[in-house]
């Protein structure tokens, strides 16, 4: 059996986790909204049309933040089409995804849905086909109490109290030639600066995210970030990153090593932010919003065959397998390891569209990737410890890839310590040790693992539990040393804590 070691020190911390790193994303795309979170008339929905079974799974994953309404969709969106009496809302051609948008679900429904889901909104404005004027109007509609055209319009739409939306994206993937209203870095940087400035004039208490690159592979990567920040550094709080990985060549070792590329992406963007900071002699630090990340490739071929200009088709419906869940686990570990700079992250997306949750007209179920996402969101809040991993490794397209990915999160108040770990070796178990003498009195509360003999195993409505977590009973603490045996190809959550005895 291969052997690896994790070293931690309770004083050697990275940062407190910002819960918003466990955010997700709902775009008007495919069946994310219609037939996903919203299905009026369904016996599975409440009186507002919100799917109750979906809300339950979202609460189970404790999703703290949901980005909305896009994505590519937002760059051609008129939010006014989706507010007010439903019978008066227009159906529009939606060029980003070649569909018809009925506008039966819009901003006010989303905000009500957020309350039902126990989550916070991250709202994007259209800086593609629209711009500064629209950014001013939407924030007035959302955040001003009354006495002006747009705030009174909201009240006329039956929403008396302002939504008070705190977090705003200044457009989406504006570096991408596919984006409606795509811009050069100079054009976007100026627009973001002006839109941000006027939005803050309306509501100074908001936080703003500027668009970074759509992926590390963009030809403009690096210069885009630098130029954009040179324009809008003083106006924005975060710079965005997006990335998706796939395994179309069926090379699992390389696929699982993709988290190294994500790590490289984060390090590079941090360096660029700090370079602009130094050039500007600024005291302010720009943090990162990794507001789209996931595995995405299974549905690519199917999507090419789709009919155009229909409503809510089955688009981007990736069916995730076991190895996808392992990479999602490694990506979560990567985000946690950068908790000092990554303050927001959104698993893209949440329901039906490249999503951890799938629905049909008769039910909702958890895809394989639901589990690492839910585990990290539920157990990964607290202080991230600098987790040093000594592991055997293999050659990958991204260089030397350790078989073991791991990170530890401590919760001082609750006296718990959680180790998230992925064994990327699909053939062999991995023995992992960790010196826990600083955590005297801590015991193993639970070791959960997600493993399967078939790396291509999936969950379906007919077999929703084909891939699901189970207990691993092979972990021990002996004289302050943890020894865990990680199954071949597994995602692991090792939960340690001080066991309270009766009367204490």
Residues in contact with ligand AHR by CB under 6 A are 27, 70-72, 172-173, 214, 292, 348-349
Q: How far is the CB of 366 from ligand AHR (least distance, A)?
A: 20
Taking Cα atoms as reference points, which of 396, 268, 395, 277 lies closest to residue 338? 268
235 vs 184: CA distance, rounded Å:
19
393's tokens: 């490794």
Contact partners, residue 122, CB within 8 Å, separation at least 6: 23, 65, 66, 67, 68, 167, 168, 169, 209, 291, 344, 346
Q: How far is the CB of 292 from ligand AHR (least distance, A)?
A: 5
Q: How far is the CB of 459 from ligand AHR (least distance, A)?
A: 21
Q: Are 289 and 21 in contact (CB under 8 A)?
A: no
Taking Cα atoms as reference points, which of 430, 427, 428 lies closest to residue 405? 430
DSSP 126-146: --SSS-HHHHHHHHHHHH--S
Q: Of 27, 140, 194, 292, which is the active-site residue? A: 292
Q: Which residues of 368-395 are buried (b: 16+ CB within 10 A; e: fewer)?
A: bbbbbbbbbbebbbbbbbbbebebeeee
Query: Which C-beta is closer to ligand AHR: that of 72 or that of 423?
Result: 72
By Cβ distance, which residue is nearest to ligand AHR? 71
Query: Which C-beta is closer to ligand AHR: that of 292 or that of 425?
Result: 292
Q: How far is the CB of 98 from ligand AHR (least distance, A)?
A: 13
Query: Which C-beta is closer to ligand AHR: that of 213 or that of 451?
Result: 213
Query: Which C-beta is closer to ligand AHR: that of 373 or that of 442?
Result: 373
**Left (φ > 0), alpha (ψ -120 to 50) or beta: where does 98 sit?**
left
Q: Of 173, 194, 225, 449, which is the active-site residue? A: 173
Query: Which C-beta is closer to ligand AHR: that of 94 or that of 173?
Result: 173
Query: Which C-beta is closer to ligand AHR: that of 174 or that of 434?
Result: 174
Count of CB atoms situated within 10 Å of the CB of 168: 26
Q: How far is the CB of 176 from ligand AHR (least distance, A)?
A: 7
Taking Cα atoms as reference points, which of 343, 289, 355, 288 lies closest to residue 317? 355
Query: Which C-beta is closer to ligand AHR: that of 348 or that of 407?
Result: 348
DSSP 8-state symbol, 160: -
Q: How far is the CB of 73 from ligand AHR (least distance, A)?
A: 6
70 vs 76: CA distance, rounded Å:
10
Helix, strand, coil percent values for the chain (each to nearest 5): 30, 30, 45
Residues recorded for the chain: 504
Q: Are 125 and 170 in contact (CB under 8 A)?
A: yes
Is residue 173 annotated as a catalytic residue, yes or no? yes
368 vs 466: CA distance, rounded Å:
9
- Alpha helix positions (H), 31-85: 52-60
43 vs 299: CA distance, rounded Å:
29
Q: How far is the CB of 349 from ligand AHR (least distance, A)?
A: 6
Q: How far is the CB of 63 from ligand AHR (least distance, A)?
A: 16
CA distances from 53 to 38, 57, 317 (A): 11, 7, 19
Is residue 413 annotated as a catalytic residue, yes or no? no
Query: Which C-beta is closer to ligand AHR: that of 169 or that of 401?
Result: 169
Taking Cα atoms as reference points, which of 59, 68, 72 lies closest to residue 110? 68
Q: How far is the CB of 352 from ligand AHR (least distance, A)?
A: 12
Q: How far is the CB of 417 from ligand AHR (least distance, A)?
A: 34
Helix axes 185-202, 132-143, angle to 10 degrees: 30
Taking Cα atoms as reference points, which of 373, 436, 380, 429 lies closest to residue 408? 380
- Computed on alpha carbons and rounded to an integer, the radius of gyration of the chain in Å comes to 23
Query: Which C-beta is closer to ligand AHR: that of 175 or that of 425?
Result: 175
Query: Which C-beta is closer to ligand AHR: that of 35 or that of 70?
Result: 70
Catalytic residues: 173, 292
């Amino acid at each position: 059996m291969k052997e690896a070691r994790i070293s931690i020190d309770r004083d050697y911390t990275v940062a407190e986790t910002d819960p918003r790193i466990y955010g997700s994303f709902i775009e008007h795309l495919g069946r994310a909204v219609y037939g996903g979170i919203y299905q009026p008339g369904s016996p599975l929905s409440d009186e507002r049309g919100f799917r109750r079974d979906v809300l339950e799974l979202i609460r189970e994953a404790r999703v703290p933040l949901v980005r909305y309404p896009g994505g590519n969709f937002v760059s051609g969106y008129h939010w006014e089409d989706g507010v007010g009496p439903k019978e008066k809302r227009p159906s529009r051609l939606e060029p980003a995804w070649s569909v018809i948008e009925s506008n039966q679900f819009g901003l006010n429904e989303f905000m009500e849905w957020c309350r039902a889901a126990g989550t916070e909104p991250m709202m994007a404005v259209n800086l593609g086909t629209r711009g500064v004027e629209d950014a001013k109007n939407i924030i007035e509609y959302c955040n001003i109490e009354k006495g002006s055209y747009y705030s009174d319009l909201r009240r006329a739409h039956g929403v008396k109290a302002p939504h008070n939306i705190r977090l705003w994206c200044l457009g989406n993937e504006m570096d991408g030639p596919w984006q409606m209203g795509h811009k050069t870095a100079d054009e976007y940087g100026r627009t973001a600066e002006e839109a941000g400035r006027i939005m803050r004039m309306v509501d100074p208490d908001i936080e703003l995210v500027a668009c970074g690159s759509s992926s590390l592979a963009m030809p403009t990567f690096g210069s885009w970030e630098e130029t954009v920040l040179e324009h809008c550094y003083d106006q924005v709080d975060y710079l965005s990153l997006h990335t998706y990985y796939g395994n179309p060549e069926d090379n699992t070792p390389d696929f699982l090593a993709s988290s190294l590329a994500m790590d490289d992406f984060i390090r590079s963007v941090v360096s660029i932010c700090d370079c602009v900071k130094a050039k500007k002699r600024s005291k302010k630090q720009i943090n990162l919003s990794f507001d789209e990340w996931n595995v995405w490739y299974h549905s690519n071929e199917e999507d090419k065959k789709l009919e155009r200009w229909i409503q809510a088709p089955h688009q981007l419906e990736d069916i995730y397998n076991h190895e996808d869940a392992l990479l999602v686990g490694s990506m979560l570990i990567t985000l946690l390891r950068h908790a000092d700079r990554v303050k927001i992250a959104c698993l893209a997306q949440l329901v039906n569209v490249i999503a951890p949750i799938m629905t049909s007209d008769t039910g909702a179920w958890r895809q394989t990737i639901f589990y690492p996402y839910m585990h990290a969101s539920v157990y990964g809040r607290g202080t991230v410890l600098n987790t040093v991993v000594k592991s055997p490794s293999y050659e990958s397209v991204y260089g030397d890839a350790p078989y073991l990915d791991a990170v530890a999160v401590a919760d001082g108040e609750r006296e718990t310590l959680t180790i998230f770990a992925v064994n990327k070796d699909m053939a062999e178990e991995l023995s992992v040790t960790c010196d826990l003498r600083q955590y005297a009195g801590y015991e193993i509360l639970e070791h959960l693992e997600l493993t399967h003999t078939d790396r291509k195993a999936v969950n379906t409505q007919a077999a929703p539990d084909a891939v699901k977590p189970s207990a691993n009973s092979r972990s021990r603490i002996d004289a302050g040393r943890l020894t865990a045996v990680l199954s071949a190809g597994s995602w692991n959550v090792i939960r340690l804590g001080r066991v309270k005895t009766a009367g204490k």
